Amino acid sequence: MPGFWINMGPQHPMTHGLWNMKVKIDGETITDAKPEIGYLHRGYEKIMEVREFQKNVVLTDRLCYVSSLTWSHAYCLAAEKMMGLEVPVRGQWIRVLALEIQRVASHLMWLAAYGPDLGLLTALLWALRERELWLDLLQLLTGARMNQNYPRIGGVRNDLPENFDGMCRRVITHFEGKLDEYEKLLHDSKIFHLRTLGVGRISAEDAINWGVTGPNLRACGVNVDLRRLDPYETYDELDFEAQVWKGSSAGDSYARFVCRFNEMRTSCDIILQVLEKMPTSGAYRTKEPRRAEGDGFARTEDSRGEALFYILGDGDDRPYRVKIRSPIFCSMAATPLMLRGNKLADLVAILGSIDVCVGEMDK
Amino acid sequence: MSQPLVPDLFATCKVLTGAILWVVQQILLALGAVIPPLKDLGNWLASDPVVSAVTWLVVMTVMLLWAVLINLLTMMWVERKFYSRLQDRYGIMVSIWSLPIWPFNRKDRPTHKGWGYLQNVADGMKLLQKENLTPRGADSAMFHMAPVLIASSTLMIFVALPWSSGFVVAKPDLSLLFILAAFSIAPFGILIAGWSANNKYTLVGGMRAAAQLMAYEIPLILCVIALVFTTGSLDVYEIVAQQERTLVTLGPLAIPAWNLFGPQALGAVVFAVAMMAEMERIPFDIPEAEAELVEGWTTEYSGMRFGLLFGFKWLRMIAGAGLISILYLGGWTGPVFTVVQVAGIPVPIIPEEVWFMLRVYLLSVVFIWISWSVPRIRIDQILQLGWKRLIPLSLLAILLAAGASLVGW
């Protein structure tokens, strides 16, 4: 029986953004899949060539609308390496703090989207309820809920506000109780197990070959976390374990869910450690040069995987060439592997678990 | 034991209809002095067969307004309130204050007060104003027939579903069979709707409804067969009357002889699960499955046609909860606290209707609670659940019931 193609997108509740997943179904079984992206392509790499180094921070904020701070940070890191700048220690600590707050906020957005994907709208509202607290923290620190424009080449824009560590601790105390609540709602539910266990499996070899990174790769049992493997900022002074799936059924939606979910706990731990180890005063920014020559390469552990910036400067006050590697762009290429042979209803359970962000995927 | 508020709906309506038609007759007789044929018309209108026929229409209209205008809207309101609380929503508490005819100073309107009861009416108004689209290439006749089929079959349940021993349209002998038959028409409407809309999402949704149908209808009927071993009757009045006695007295508590307490307990649970699939509530709403199929089989409907399909799900929930309470929870029986005399007519405080609606709304809240706390299951999983779990369990319920009736329990 030939089956037929269904467009899941570009206007579809499953997509979480503007893209299209074409699936060929035979009855209820998916026999083939074809992701179609490019609806949100804005030509980032080209736009960045005509803007000055510091102004590009504003642009890179808009790469991913859920996790903007991590992207502007990755850009700043690459630019600093090109300019040979050394960020003051306190600036590095503040960056780590902001990055981890952003990571929790981003993962909460993923959790909020994953609930209704499986038909559980309650998870959406509960996760967004706690996301407000993390966004409030970001707003205190940077002045904005999204598109913060906070990292600067050579440091960060401003110092911590007053009593910021106390507020962080309060939020984390509250949030860890709520994490247990989410676990009871999703993780302990029999139907949730039915929907995710063994669904959308990808082997570790396939995942590595297709360039899947981040929590999606760690769910396959591969211990790759750039915060541990290739530490940037002050991550090497922190004591934490990357969340790697160790049980059976590696690489399925359930493993991806658990890895990403537990990463929120890890981030809370990291934030508490940062608040302890951070120097209480000092410079947080150095003056950056206006013009630069050479190349800078930086890769960071974004909320969704490995974010990479490669910047080439030719002595002008703007980059000559910029290359962005988006983790979801590569993970998306591997989705047909995960989808084939599963049921149509599993499509949302799989694509929800890899945490798509179209802004960074289409660049 | 409690008394019904409406002892006989048909007789009550017949008195009213007869009075109105008598007035018409008198007018026509007076006019008959000028135009003689009107005399005959007047006498014909007031004759008993005509009054009875008109009364049937009136009774059905009363039941329709009662079910749709009052209970459907209340149930939607209850659901929205309940899940708003469950999910910590701000939300639909403001609608009554946003009425265009709000009589007080508009600036002083508090925004987070009010009951929000009119929100559903406002949504219905909005849907009425929307355009009714028919997709290109759709089978127009079938596409337009499906909502009518679903809505009318759902209303048909309320012909035989009683709200008390008196508040009912008709009392057929096999009323339970009639209710179950009316219940199972709607999935065909879903299949027709999904097939005719010329859309791949609706097609998949309709096919899912057809595949799912067998998985829950069979255990549903098997549970009723198990029940018939105990009751020996398919008449809902008979079934409720059997549950009216007291099973056992524990101190001040008199445990009533509901079918739930006894060999039917297993059947009751299976029946409730299958009924949840019948109502298409969330763990089993796979024909709709808005995550992957946009809005499932209702995707292409717009305007009030969508409103009918959407709203009548609650009506089916009321009917399902009512059926469960009649079969297993003692229907409308309950203690009566006192009877007051209003103009010489004894009016019971907490009449049967209230006891019945209490059960219906409590059961519905349980269903709402479940459906907002679990994810949706997959089509192959509901088939497995239906065929491998529910059907064997309902067969076991039949065995239990047969054994229990053998030993005379």
Q: What pLDDT score was predicted for residue B107?
A: 59
For residue A74, the model assigns a pLDDT of 92
C-beta neighbour count of B90 within 10 angstroms: 9
Q: Most B CBs within 10 Å: which of A20, A21, A25, A122, as the mutation test of the B interface?
A: A122
Specify the pLDDT at position B93. 53
Give the C-alpha distances (Å, rounded to integers) separating B345 from B6, B7, B310, B341.
Answer: 12, 12, 41, 5
Per-residue pLDDT tens for A77-111?
999 999 888 899 999 999 999 999 999 999 999 99
Is residue A296 scored above 60 in pLDDT?
Answer: yes
Mean pLDDT of A140-159: 89
Identity of the amino acid at B189: G
Residue B322 pLDDT class (50, 70, 90 cuts): very high
Residue A4 has pLDDT above 80, yes or no: yes
Question: Whole-angstrom Cα distance, residue A73 to residue A57?
Answer: 8
From the number of C-beta atoms within 10 Å of its C-beta (0-12, 13-18, 19+), residue A235 rates as: buried
User: Of A336-350, B7-21, B249-263, B307-321, which gets the smallest average pLDDT?
Assistant: B249-263
Mean pLDDT computed over every residue of chain A = 89
Q: Distance between CA atoms of A119 and B370, rounded to whole angstroms?
A: 12
pLDDT in tens, B348-401: 677 788 888 999 999 999 999 999 989 988 888 889 988 999 999 999 999 988
Q: Which residue of B has its CA nearest to A27?
A: B204
A310, pLDDT greater than 90: yes
Q: Among candidates A97, A113, A121, A127, which has minimal Cα distance to A277?
A: A97
Token pair listed for B236: 């809902």
Confidence bin at B311 (pLDDT 50/70/90): confident
Rounded-to-integer distance, Cα B4 and Cα B348, Å = 8
Q: Please give the structure tokens belonging to residue B146.
A: 């499906």
Query: What pLDDT band is residue B213 in, cutting at 50, 70 and 90?
Result: confident
Residue B97, pLDDT above cutoff 60: no
A194–B377 C-beta distance less than 8 A: yes
Give pLDDT tens digits for B180-200: 999 888 888 888 988 898 888
Contact A116 B285 (CB under 8 A): no
Please tell me the predicted confidence (pLDDT) of residue B110.
Answer: 53
Q: Is the pLDDT of residue A176 over 80?
A: yes
What pLDDT score does A107 carry?
93
**Of the candidates A132, A101, A283, A141, the residue with the CA atom closest to the CA atom of residue A149:** A141
pLDDT band at A272 (very low <50, low <70, confident <90, very high): very high
Cβ pair A348:B378 closer than 8 A: no
Point out the residue among A119, A343, A346 whose CB comes nearest to the CB of B375.
A119
Q: What is the pLDDT of residue A95?
A: 92
3-state secondary structure labels for all residues of chain B: CCCCCCCCHHHHHHHHHHHHHHHHHHHHHHHHCCCCHHHHHHHHHCCHHHHHHHHHHHHHHHHHHHHHHHHHHHHHHHHHHHHHHHCCCCCCCCHHHHCCCCCCCHHHCCCCCCCCCCHHHHHHHHHHHCCCCCCCCCCHHHHHHHHHHHHHHHHHHHHHCCCCCCCCCCCCCCHHHHHHHHHCCHHHHHHHHHHHCCCHHHHHHHHHHHHHHHHHHHHHHHHHHHHHHHHCCCCHHHHHHHCCCEEEEECCEEEECCCCCCCCHHHHHHHHHHHHHHCCCHHHCCCCCHHHHCCHHHCCCCHHHHHHHHHHHHHHHHHHHHHHHHHHCCCCCCCCCCEEEECCEEEECCCHHHHHHHHHHHHHHHHHHHHCCCCCCCHHHHHHHHHHHHHHHHHHHHHHHHHHHHCCC
At the fourth CATH level, the homologous superfamily of domain A4-352 is Cytochrome-c3 Hydrogenase, chain B (1.10.645.10)
Least confident range from B175-189, B234-248, B305-319: namely B234-248
CA distance A18 to A341: 25
Find out whether A48 and A319 touch, Cβ atoms under 8 Å.
yes
> What was the pLDDT predicted at B344?
73
Confidence of residue B111 (pLDDT cuts 50, 70, 90): low
Please list, in sequence order, all residues whose beta carbon lies within 8 angstroms of the beta carbon of residue B160, skipping any fewer than 6 positions away.
B168, B169, B170, B171, B172, B175, B178, B179, B182, B236
Bridge partners (DSSP) listed for residue A325: A308
The whole-angstrom separation of Cα A256 and Cα A259 is 5
Please state the pTM of the whole predicted model: 0.85
Shortest CA gap B153–chain A (Å): 27
Q: Which two tokens stand for residue A142?
A: 């940077």
CB contact at 8 A, A292 and A83: yes
Residue B106 has pLDDT above 70, yes or no: no
Flag whether pLDDT at A7 surpasses 90. no
Q: pLDDT tens across A194-246, in order?
A: 889 888 888 889 999 998 998 999 999 888 888 888 888 888 888 888 888 88
Tokens for A185, please give them. 């709602």
Using a 10 angstrom Cβ sphere, with 0-12 exposed, 13-18 middle and 19 or more buried, the burial of residue B252 is: exposed
What is the reported pLDDT for B123? 86
Residue extents of the structural domains in chain A: 4-352
Query: How remote is the C-alpha of B185 from its chain's centroid?
Result: 14
Structure tokens at B182: 């009316």
- Tell me which residues of chain B have a C-beta less than 8 Å from any C-beta of chain A: 83, 86-89, 200-201, 204, 208, 282-283, 285-286, 289-292, 294, 372-381
The answer, yes or no, to whether residue B1 has pLDDT greater than 70, is no
Nearest to A189 among B204, B292, B375 (CB): B375
3-state per-residue secondary structure call for A204-265 = HHHHHHHCCCCHHHHCCCCCCCHHHHCCCCCHHHCCCCCCCCCCCCCCCHHHHHHHHHHHHH
What is the pLDDT, as a whole number, of residue A73?
92
Dist. CA A10–CA A20, nearest whole Å: 5
> What is the torsional sign of CA B326, B329, B333, B338?
negative
Q: What is the mean pLDDT of residues A306-330?
A: 90
- A184 has a pLDDT exceeding 60: yes
Please give the angle made by the CA atoms of B212, B213 and B214, to the nearest 5 degrees.
95
Residues of A with CB under 8 A from a CB of B: 4, 6, 8, 12-14, 25, 28, 115-122, 125-126, 129, 185-186, 189, 191-192, 194-195, 343-348
Q: Do A119 and B289 touch (CB under 8 A)?
A: yes
Shortest CA gap B87–chain A (Å) = 5
| pLDDT tens per residue, range B20-45 | 888 988 888 888 888 888 888 888 88
C-alpha distances out from residue A25 to A32, A33, A341, Å: 7, 9, 10
Q: With bands split at pLDDT 50, 70 and 90, how would you rate the model's confidence at B101?
A: low
**Alpha-carbon gap, residue A327 to A206, rounded angstroms:** 15
pLDDT at position B395, please? 92
Average pLDDT over residues A300-327: 90
Q: Is the pLDDT of residue B253 over 80?
A: no
Question: Quick check: A343 and B89 CB within 8 A?
Answer: no
Contacts with A130 from chain B: Cβ below 8 Å = none
- A186-207: pLDDT as tens digits: 888 888 988 898 888 888 899 9
Of A115, A129, A191, the CB nearest to B283: A191
Complex-level ipTM beyond the 0.85 threshold: no
- Collect all residues of chain A within an 8 Å Cβ-Cβ radius of residue B88: 125-126, 129
Residue with tokens 């508590």: B253
The larger pLDDT score, comparing residue B322 to residue B242, is at B322
Position with higher pLDDT, B219 vs B244: B219
pLDDT of residue B210: 86
Per-residue pLDDT averaged across B274-291, rounded? 84
In angstroms, how far is CA B135 from the centroid of its own chain? 31
Upper half-sphere CA count for residue B83 (Cβ side, 13 Å): 22
Q: Is the pLDDT of residue B113 over 70?
A: no
